[in-house]
Structure 1
Amino acid sequence: MSTPYCCPNCKTNRSRFNIIRQVPQSVKLDPQTGNIIEQYSSGELSPFHMAYKGPEIRVQCGSCGLVEDERTFIKFGQM
């Protein structure tokens, strides 16, 4: 996070952002009620449960509200 950001949507904001740290929680839900039946730790997923592979950090523009992957804001900040 030591690189400059720029919003790819409004193209003017370079200073006000919300950093969103994503913390995935792997669970098995009851299909009828939606209640959590089982919670998995990252190393103990069942064979049919795929681990989360998305970005760890997402960024929201503090001016227009756009939420994107951090790399998008970094690329526009380098221009």
Structure 2
Amino acid sequence: MIAPYLCPNCKTNRSRYHLLEQSPQAVKLNPQSGEIMEQYDSSSLDPFHLPYKGTSKRVQCGSCGLIEDEQSFVKFAESHPAKLQ
């Protein structure tokens, strides 16, 4: 999405961000050791393993470090338009 951002936490940053691409990996872990026992792809999940439904992109503010969905930064910028000088 191409749209202006404004950090909803520090409320001043409009230009410095980290764009984080998420690539979820479905796994089954050993409950005692935390070791990966099995890896799944989206077509072979077992009945007790729900598919990932989160966003593919997250944004981190380069000033305060807040990490949120991209939509949070876009919506905050829309509700607080930049003042042109």
- TM, length-normalised to structure 2: 0.87
- Runs ≥4 in structure 1, deviation > 4 angstroms? none
Which residue pairs with 1:62 in the alignment?
Answer: 62
Unaligned runs of 5+ in 2: 81-85
TM-score, length of structure 1 as denominator length? 0.93
2:8 corresponding residue in structure 1: 8
Deviations 1:26-79 (A, max 9, x none): 001111211111100011101111111111111110001111111110011112
The CA RMSD measured in Å over matched residues stands at 0.9
SS in 1 for 2:74: helix
**1:10-31 Cα distance to aligned partner (Å, 9 max, x none):** 1111000001111100001111
Q: Count the aligned residue pairs.
A: 79
Unaligned runs of 5+ in 1: none
Pair member with larger Rg = 2
